[in-house]
Amino acid sequence: MKDQAIPKATVKRLPLYYRYLRILNTAGKTKVSSTELSDAIQVDSATIRRDFSYFGELGKRGYGYDVEDLMNFFGKILNDDQLTNVALVGVGNLGSALLKFKFHQSNSIRVSCAFDIKEDIVGRIVDGIPVYPMDSMVEQIKLQHIEIAILTIPAQEAQQVVDQLVNAGIKGILNFTAARLSAPDNVIIQSVDLTNELQTLIYFLHHNYEAQ
């Protein structure tokens, strides 16, 4: 791999490439061009070639890309050959849905524990996942050596919980709350604002209509 920073936009597309390469490999396809990838995943071929170029020479001109080799390459980059245990904080409507989510059938990502304050759910096994009380969160995360957490709790409680997660050794947080969170530089927080995404979609929808 080339010694250079990979743009965030490129990193976000890597799972998309990897997922489609797995589909091709399962179907028995041995090689694929950037044009074929472009048609399938709706990313223009120039962007695909530029993304791939950050990782060196992955294909051959006039031949394309070897599906299995490229799949295995991206699998290693995404640590898909290693099991990553994740903690879920907040088992409300969204949290419950995430417990059922199969992460695109990945065998490398597993929600191994969840935390909540509701007495009717704490101590139960929900969709195969044990739900612990919040006051045992730090202890359980340390015990299970978990480094990634998903946050689906009320926004007003989020920062306090993030501070506890950092104390427990969490290094990455997927934040589904609307709160602006702060953490030490060695902790990565990636926020998913569903309302913002929908409003952006609505804007583009109407913008495109007006342009037409």
Annotated binding site: 90-95
Sheet holding 129-133, edge to edge: 125-126, 129-133, 109-116, 84-89, 148-151, 172-175, 188-191
Phi first, then psi, for residue 115 (nearest 5°) are: -135, 140
Q: Residue 212 corresponds to which tokens in the numbers above? A: 């037409």
Closest CA to 141 of 119, 117, 161: 161
**Residue positions in the annotated binding site for NAD(+)?**
90-95
The radius of gyration of the chain from alpha carbons, rounded to an integer in Å, stands at 20
Work out the widest C-alpha separation in the chain, in whole angstroms: 62
Residues 6+ positions from 4 with CB-CB distance below 8 Å: 54
Phi first, then psi, for residue 118 (nearest 5°) are: -75, 125
Closest CA to 188 of 160, 208, 162: 162
Q: Residue 207 corresponds to which tokens in the numbers above? A: 């913008």
**Structural contact between residues 69 and 13, judged by C-beta atoms closer than 8 angstroms:** no
